[in-house]
Structures are given as structure tokens and as C-alpha cells.
Amino acid sequence: MGLDTPNAYLTDTWSRGAVIGRFAGRLENPIAIEQQPFFIENQNGVMLHSGSGGWGTKIWKVHSHSETKISLSYTCPHGTTGFPGTVKATVTYQLEDSNLILHYIAQTDQPTHINLTNHSYFNLNPSGKIDSQELMIAADAILELKNSLVPTGNSIKVDQTPYDFRTPKKIDTLSLDDYFVLNNKASLSASLYAIETGILMETFTDQPGIVIFTPPHFEAICFETQKFSNTPNIDTFPSTLVDPEEPYIQKTKFKFSVPSL
């Protein structure tokens, strides 16, 4: 679900199609790196999707391309919105049969927190509403959120709650902006199916979780594969700290099919 002109993406408040970096999700100010506080850009104490320095409105350079693959690169300067380290990132989009593969690599010159995701929206029946489409998420828990939508550090079991999508069910009237903690042994992370068109979309990722977001004013759903939000402030979460010696790497695949054919 895209926009009609390139300029429309630069002013879009819903980040349609964007690469979210250098840190996806919500962060409380300040963040800690090796026990040193860093004060980050924020509104009411919270930064969302890296604030004004977010990568979704930056100009990326074409690194390489072919008929089925394109790699784009961007360098985020040291100190952008308060984060230390110059980060050089490459994102590759590849078409392979009916798969769309996203591969992220980011290198920093000093320790910093990195958490990247893609913010594309989907509707497998564009002429209809999203509520009739069946969603599956291989997650036994979601992250507990504060009123500011920042994770508290606790998780909530989805059993006997509206957030139990472990078997496919219609989205119905449920509005989602929640982080689902993916089951470690699940090969398939999430899926979406539209009975009207017969299209099935399956999501595979090496990330520990996924934010599922349904925007309030247009019919679509977003699958944001990423690490936990607010991780720099929660010791019990898997670390998002990246050192110069070891680059950030992430891979996510969206697979499309029509099983009835």
C-alpha cells in the first residue's frame, strides 16, 4: 500500500515503505551505552523511530542493482538525534520467485544501539477492509506497554486474550500496535490470508519479535520485524548494542502465494 509520488513519502507521517533506523520503535530518554548516559531527541521523554534523524526520509545511494535485486546505502553521522557513532548501512531488496527478501547490514565506528526494520503496509484485498483477512502470529506473548507505548520490560501471555493469533483468525475490529515475542522454534513467524483474493503472505525473520500495526485511517497492516523496543533501558531484553568489530545483520522474507491454484 504505497503513495503516488516520491515527494509524498518524504512528508508521510505513517512511514509508508520506509526503512526505520537507526533504532526502530520507542525509546525512553536517556539511553545507556557502557554505563554512560546519552540524551536523545524526544517528545515527552520518548523517541519514536529515531525522530527527525530517521532513515525513512533520507536519500539513499544505489550501491548495486540487477533485474531482481537492488542494494541501497546510507551513512548516518555520529551524534544524529543523540546517538553516538557513525553508522554505514546497506539494505538489499531481492525478488526470488514469489519471495521478497530484505537483507540489512550496518557497521558502526563506536559502540551504539541499532535496531532496523521495514515499515511497508499490506492489504491482500486492496478493494476491501483488512478486518476480514486472517492473521497468524507464532507468538505466545506480547510485551507489556506503558501508557506511552514504551515496553515495561515485562511480557503478557496471549492465551485467552484478543492477541492470541497462534492459529489463524480474522483481524475483525481489533486495532493493533503491539510487539509480539516470536517463539524461538517457529520457522514461520506470521502470515496473512485474504479469502476474497486467495492470496497468502508469509513472513520469515531472524529477529526475536515483530510489531503488528494496523493504522487507524487506511486499510492496511504492517509487519515490523525487529528487536525489542526500549532495549537500551531494559537489562533483561536481548541486547541491541553493536560494536565496531561485529556488524548488525538482519534478514526478513515475505513469501506470496495462492494456495488454491
Q: Which residues are catalytic?
A: 119, 224
Q: What angle do CA 13, 137, 106 make, to 5 degrees?
A: 55
CA–CA separation, 136 and 46 (whole Å): 30
Q: Which of 212, 144, 208 is nearest to 174 (CA)?
A: 212
C-alpha cell recorded at residue 231: 532495549
DSSP 8-state secondary structure symbol assigned to residue 43 = B
CA–CA separation, 126 and 235 (whole Å): 42
Inter-residue contact 36 to 161 (CB < 8 Å)? no
CA–CA separation, 8 and 18 (whole Å): 12
Q: What angle do CA 110, 81, 70 make, to 5 degrees?
A: 70
Inter-residue contact 50 to 66 (CB < 8 Å)? no
3-class DSSP state of 131 = helix
Q: Is 24 exposed, middle or buried (0-12, 13-18, 19+ CB in 10 A)?
A: buried
Q: Is the peptide bond before 16 cis (omega within 30 degrees of 0)?
A: no
Q: Exposure string (b/e) for 134-145, b if CB count within 10 Å is 16 or more?
A: bbbbbbbbbbeb
DSSP 8-state secondary structure symbol assigned to residue 82 = G
